[in-house]
Structure 1
Amino acid sequence: MTVESTADRPERTVVVIGGGVAGLTVARDLLVSRPATRVVVLDASDRVGGKLRRESIGGHLVDVGAEAMLALRPEAVDLLGELADPSEVVTPDTTSARVWSRGGLHPLPRTRIGVPFASSDVTGLLTDEEAARMRDESPAPEVGSDVSVADYVGARLGDAVVDRLVEPLLGGVYAGRARSLSLRATMPSIWATAQAGGSLLAEPPVDAQAGGARPPFVGLTGGVGRFPELLAADLERRGGVIESGVIARAVERTAEGWSVVTGPTTEPRRVHADAVVVAVPPPAAARLLAPHAPDAASALGEVEMASVAVITLAVPAAQVASWAGSGFLVPPIDGRGIKASTFSSAKWGWLAAEAEGTAYVRASVGRAGETATLQREDADLVDLAAREIAEAVGAAPLTVVDSHVQRWGGGLPQYTVGHVDRVARVRAAVARVPGLAVAGAAYDGVGIPAVIASARLAADATTTHLDGLAGRAGE
């Protein structure tokens, strides 16, 4: 089937490939700015949302992807303000995290993404010798156009700071390793300090210590997985079309604009578009862009992907009632199977109230280059999570009432050294092709606010292109 050409209808058509938060945000933004636009979202999954997803576990819908959003950036909170009742945007009941290292749980010190301040208490995590090395900060080395996190922070504060503090935090956000991750891309504030030659241990400004006007993190009653559901409902209300279970096999140039090819090779379906937004992970994006923006495809081909899994356990609430804090991080140097655990029911009051008598805890596994743990069967991962969480808190073996293992194969792009320049190459190449735009977690950050920001750049570029078409056509 071929959708009718622009000559047969007054409105313009945009096809958005990818139904994660990026694709949904692009689609909604286009419908807000140009209500007459026909917007079609093609998503390969069984439902929209990408890495934001809820599943029924122990009789309740629980997040099995991201379960919190950074609120210090405005994009996610502001968009939620347009979609949800303000009372549904909630803050954690506790954010007191710890680090499971050297045989015990230690309070997570005050840090900038793992880089401590001069007054941070690192007792237990670092030996006296390692702490003294940290405070005897070395002069700033030359960083050139980029440098790995470990090379820079390790040179200034010692390798122990990287191994015990930076690695577990980066592992949780990027599923990456500090030896390869870009300082410039993953730690922009530290990069700015490096550029200026300042001290990494310098205390933050007073207003930053107070936390500013926003809390650091927010969630959503019912789970962050509701976010894409709210987005999808709103864009459909505005006339947008969402097609799930549809794989875009190719993007082709036509005399009138673009054609997105879906369906089997024996019965291809071609969807006409005046503009196309590619909002899928780098491997799929590179394949779709290759015929039209080969330089962009080449740069995206350099982006490595890491696989992770989230193991969620439903347990009797009484078994975890005495546990302190919101969870813990695990440095890879300690050789554990899990890399982090979140005490979800302790962290989110709405979940504790909804699932009275049942509590939820979860663990994550998987880092870039790590395959052995992820090759284990689901039941083995559940046993691993239950055993190591209990060991960390010094509790008796957990009684697992229900469980769920969510595997995100190739789910997280790696921001390796040179990533900022790599993204600039992608955007420059795509900008040379009228009617084409990109968005997603591969560009400006893997967090929800950063993904929304990338979507808004793509929506603005697409709107500018459509406005230009309208001007030339005298619409």
Structure 2
Amino acid sequence: MPMPESAPAEPTAAPRRLLVVGGGITGLAAARAGLDAGLSVTLLEASGRYGGKLELGHVAGTSVDLGAETILARRAEGVDLAKAVGLGEDLVSPATTAAGLWSRGALHPLPSGQLMGVPGDLRALGASGVLGSRGLARVQADRVMPKTPVTEDVSVGEYVGRRLGREVVERLVEPLLGGVYAGHADRLSLRATVPQLAPLAAAGTPLSTGVRDLLAAGAAASSAAGTAPKPVFAGIRGGVGRLPGAVAADVAERGAELRTGIGAKALRRVAEGWQVSLTDGTTLTADLLVLAVPAYVARTLLAEAAPVTAAELADIEYASMAIATFAFHRSAFADVPPGSGFLVPPVDGRAIKAATFSSVKWPWLAHSSGEMVVLRTSLGRLGESEILERDDEEIAKAALTDLADAVGLTGRPADRHVQRWTEALPQYAVGHLDRVGRLRAALPAGIAVAGAAYDGVGIPACIASAARAVEHLIEA
């Protein structure tokens, strides 16, 4: 008996094509999220390397991070990604997280019991010596002041200064907030940069008491769960700059097409989706686009396709900065400073805004650097781009002058490296969260933006931003 003919197979639909513009950690994470969702992925990076502000270099023959050197470990995204791409065994915790403040020419311990410089433990604040007697009295007055509720976003400096006085803003909040954003507390959004304080500001209750209660509640929750508090920070043996290369290798092995040295110039809607004109004169067409580039680059690309979004992006400012890294023989120090480093209040007028004793902070670096002590300093913040116009020798000299005053450093470094990061850190101005909501709402279907300009500047925040962007595109 003849066998019945089988019905013709249904044609298999080709996977939708996702084009990711930008090969920093956000773009790489977006490519990985696209693969996880079954998309065909192409990633473009205009420079010759992946990683954006995550980059490795060498000082005195030792591998060092030239950009971000720390992953916020209390958020899972960064640590989880490192594990997923084979770097789990190289995740390390700092040997110390004890930091200091170099204020009024003296090193002080960073007070415990504070949240981004806002004190919750007045006894620790007084013991640190950071504030004078008038400043301490002003902080104590917060607990008997009338309520000052706010109904809209305000700057961190404005509200903290109103409750606790300007000395807290200048000596504590500015150096801590500036270390993250290279910005100014009087311009940075309370809701976007220190969201934990927003409910306290809305209630108008004493700020120091509110911070004390927040920190106590967090400790109590960990105790009730029977778990030890998670480490705040993590690093990667050999440098956090290893992470982009590991992610790039992972997504390439899984079938993503990665192209460096080619950027996007313009985009327009076509019947097949979005057509992107490239810097090499060719075009690519994709169903879905993730723009994982700085706001000023996304603004140019979206000028015609999404003019409302482009106009909102134009209002996001960026700060430039430099990182000067040095290797010294141990003999240059009477004693190698304890702790992970120190922050510097801008009000003191110093060139550096922070110093990190990298080979004290990271055991792997102490081992690989041998008799060398590796330090890194950061210079510059919003509106202070003049420092970046100096040559490397001048930048290094300015940093060394401050280091000598702060820690009694003598002698010249055995090696040094100066890394400029131009327009690198987005500023979350007052109203930032509303601005991001508006610009995303005005995007046409099939396009999403992700990265440090929107949802947080740290590595975990950028990874989460990428995942949300891809998820939104698929759902839409």
TM-score where L is the length of structure 1: 0.91
Give the Cα separation in 1 of the matches to 2:392 and 2:164. 39
Contact 1:168 1:339 in 2 (8 A): yes
Give the Cα separation in 2 of the matches to 1:435 and 1:317. 56
Give the Cα separation in 2 of the matches to 1:342 and 1:177. 21
Give the Cα separation in 2 of the matches to 1:139 and 1:413. 35
Answering whether residue 194 of structure 2 is matched by residue 197 of structure 1, we say no
Q: Deviations over 1:167-196 (max 9, x none)?
A: 001111000001111111111001121123
Alignment of 1:379-418 (within 5 A): 379-395=393-409, 397-418=410-431
Q: CA deviation at 1:147?
A: 0.5
Give the Cα separation in 1 of the matches to 2:330 and 2:95. 16
Q: CA deviation at 1:74?
A: 1.6
Give the Cα separation in 1 of the matches to 2:459 and 2:146. 35
Instruction: Indicate which of 12, 16, 20 corresponds to 1:16.
Output: 20
**1:404 to 1:373, Cα distance in 2 relative to 1, 3 A:** same
Alignment of 1:42-441 (within 5 A): 42-110=44-112, 111-119=114-122, 120-122=124-126, 123-137=128-142, 138-202=145-209, 203=212, 204-206=214-216, 208-209=218-219, 213-263=229-279, 268-320=281-333, 322-395=336-409, 397-430=410-443, 433-441=444-452
Partner-residue secondary structure (3-state), 1:259: strand
Give the Cα separation in 2 of the matches to 1:443 and 1:387. 36
Q: RMSD of aligned C-alpha atoms? A: 1.8
Partner-residue secondary structure (3-state), 1:121: helix
Partner-residue secondary structure (3-state), 2:199: helix
Which residue of 1 is the match for residue 35 of structure 2?
Answer: 31
Which residue of 2 is the match for residue 457 of structure 1?
Answer: 468
Give the Cα separation in 1 of the matches to 2:150 and 2:121. 23
Give the Cα separation in 2 of the matches to 1:21 and 1:462. 19
Contact 2:219 2:229 in 1 (8 A): no
Give the Cα separation in 1 of the matches to 2:368 and 2:358. 12
Range 384-393 or range 301-310, more displaced: 384-393
Contact 1:308 1:366 in 2 (8 A): yes
Contact 2:151 2:202 in 1 (8 A): no
Partner-residue secondary structure (3-state), 2:234: strand
Q: Deviations over 1:131-158 (max 9, x none)?
A: 1111110334242321011110000000
Figure out how many residues of one structure are paired with residues of the other and give that number: 451
Partner-residue secondary structure (3-state), 2:102: strand
Partner-residue secondary structure (3-state), 2:135: helix
Which residue of 1 is the match for residue 6 of structure 2?
Answer: none
Paired AA for residue 397 in structure 2: D
Give the Cα separation in 2 of the matches to 1:149 and 1:139. 19
Range 184-193 or range 114-123, more displaced: 114-123
Give the Cα separation in 2 of the matches to 1:64 and 1:402. 14
Please list every run of 5 or more consecutive structure 1 residues that lacks an aligned counterpart in the other structure. 1-6, 466-475
Contact 1:30 1:463 in 2 (8 A): no
Q: Give the 4+ runs in structure 1 shifted more than 6 A.
A: none
Paired AA for residue 270 in structure 1: T
Q: Deviations over 1:262-303 (max 9, x none)?
A: 125xxx210111111101001001111121221111111100
Partner-residue secondary structure (3-state), 1:443: helix
Q: CA deviation at 1:85?
A: 4.2
Partner-residue secondary structure (3-state), 1:299: helix
Paired AA for residue 295 in structure 1: V
Q: CA deviation at 1:8?
A: 12
Give the Cα separation in 1 of the matches to 2:161 and 2:61. 46
Give the Cα separation in 1 of the matches to 2:384 and 2:12. 53
Partner-residue secondary structure (3-state), 2:326: strand
Contact 1:387 1:398 in 2 (8 A): no
Paired AA for residue 372 in structure 1: E
Partner-residue secondary structure (3-state), 2:454: coil
Contact 1:309 1:407 in 2 (8 A): yes
TM-score where L is the length of structure 2: 0.91
Q: CA deviation at 1:371?
A: 2.3
Contact 2:51 2:244 in 1 (8 A): yes
Give the Cα separation in 2 of the matches to 1:182 and 1:75. 24
Give the Cα separation in 2 of the matches to 1:390 and 1:69. 29
Q: CA deviation at 1:199?
A: 2.6
Q: CA deviation at 1:404?
A: 1.0
Which residue of 2 is the match for residue 468 of structure 1?
Answer: none
Contact 1:23 1:455 in 2 (8 A): yes
Which residue of 1 is the match for residue 459 of structure 2?
Answer: 448
- Determine which structure has more spread, i.e. the larger CA radius of gyration: 2
Contact 1:140 1:194 in 2 (8 A): no
Paired AA for residue 78 in structure 2: A
Q: CA deviation at 1:10?
A: 2.3
Which residue of 2 is the match for residue 471 of structure 1?
Answer: none
Q: Deviations over 1:350-393 (max 9, x none)?
A: 01111212221000011111122222111111111122112101
Partner-residue secondary structure (3-state), 1:180: coil
Contact 1:118 1:135 in 2 (8 A): no
Paired AA for residue 288 in structure 2: A
Contact 1:140 1:156 in 2 (8 A): no
